[in-house]
Structure 1
Amino acid sequence: MPLLQFDTTLSLSPDQKEAFADRVTAIYTEEMATTAGHVAVTIREHESAALHLGRAVEGPLCFLDAEIRRGRPFERKRAFALETMAFVGDRFDVPDENMKVVFTEHRGESMMGVDRVGGEWDGSGGGDGANGGE
């Protein structure tokens, strides 16, 4: 049940936001070996003065706070981060220096929906067994 929260100075149309969320969800499911039904994405737009990154260069900023279930290997997280930043950079002309990804990991039981509570990640790619999903 990941929550992928993007804060950006980009100004996106509703169609661009939908395509953005769809692509990031696809990247997540591929790189994190899971299914898409439980992936939540938020895109929050800010004025340029509202976001700051010391190393930033001229251009838009985009930060990702990825709230995920604990247990995935570093290599999976790094692959997701790199693929997501490559997509954002290529599609929206965000310079590499202006992007950042931060992972926050939670116990499975800390991630829930109305119909289920997450379990621990087992690496099988099929969710978490009885509770399903991420």
Structure 2
Amino acid sequence: MPQLRFDLSVPVDGADRDAFAPRAAETYADVMDTGTDHVGVVVAETDPRLGRVDGGDPVAFVNADIRVGRTVEQRHELAGRLTAALDDRFGIPEHAVYVVFTEHAGEDFVLGGEPLDSWDGGESDPAAGSD
């Protein structure tokens, strides 16, 4: 069960969350070859600071907790697509988005009281499930 957390220095209202969260989940599913029913997304207005960004400019921190098994290429593609989505939706420029991936074994994720299995390719296939 991946969890994507977006800490943004810009105002975030319910409409922003309602529009952005599904887009982030769908982007994750597309890049990582899985479904969306287990993707957790948090979009929060906080006060992140990034040394390379001037004080008043918008900033985003993205923490992506994912299962072990995705390639470096997949992680970098996801980071790029999420960065573009943040610019598109919230006006946060690429240089002000900091993405960090943390990988966990499947059993470290528990959804509905049940641990998830380790990831394997093709999870987006409905016959394969989306755990």
Superposed pair shares fold, TM > 0.5: yes
Q: How far 1:103 moved relative to its partner?
A: 0.3
User: What is the aligned partner in structure 1 of residue 17 from structure 2?
Assistant: 17
Structure 1 unaligned segments of length 5 or more: list them: none
TM-score (norm 2): 0.90
Distance in 2, Cα, partners of 1:38 & 1:13 = 23
User: What is the aligned partner in structure 2 of residue 78 from structure 1?
Assistant: 76
TM-score (norm 1): 0.88
User: What is the aligned partner in structure 2 of residue 124 from structure 1?
Assistant: 122
SS of the residue aligned with 1:16?
helix
User: What is the aligned partner in structure 1 of residue 4 from structure 2?
Assistant: 4
Residue 48 of structure 2 contacts residue 61 of structure 2 at CA under 8 Å; is this kept in 1?
no
Distance in 2, Cα, partners of 1:13 & 1:7 = 13
Residue 4 of structure 1 contacts residue 66 of structure 1 at CA under 8 Å; is this kept in 2?
yes
* Aligned residue identity for 2:98: K
* Aligned residue identity for 2:3: L
* Aligned residue identity for 2:35: T
User: What is the aligned partner in structure 2 of residue 37 from structure 1?
Assistant: 37
RMSD: 1.8
After superposition, the C-alpha distances for 1:96-122 in whole angstroms (9 at most, x for unaligned) are 121011000000000011253111111
Distance in 1, Cα, partners of 2:122 & 2:130 = 11
* Aligned residue identity for 2:51: G
Q: How far 1:125 moved relative to its partner?
A: 2.7
* Aligned residue identity for 1:79: E
Aligned counterpart for 1:55 among listed residues 52, 55, 61: 52
Distance in 2, Cα, partners of 1:108 & 1:133 = 12
Residue 20 of structure 2 contacts residue 89 of structure 2 at CA under 8 Å; is this kept in 1?
no
Residue 118 of structure 1 contacts residue 133 of structure 1 at CA under 8 Å; is this kept in 2?
no
Distance in 1, Cα, partners of 2:122 & 2:22 = 23
SS of the residue aligned with 2:58?
coil
Distance in 2, Cα, partners of 1:88 & 1:126 = 24
Residue 2 of structure 1 contacts residue 69 of structure 1 at CA under 8 Å; is this kept in 2?
yes
After superposition, the C-alpha distances for 1:5-61 in whole angstroms (9 at most, x for unaligned) are 111111122011111101101100101110000000011212xxx321111145211
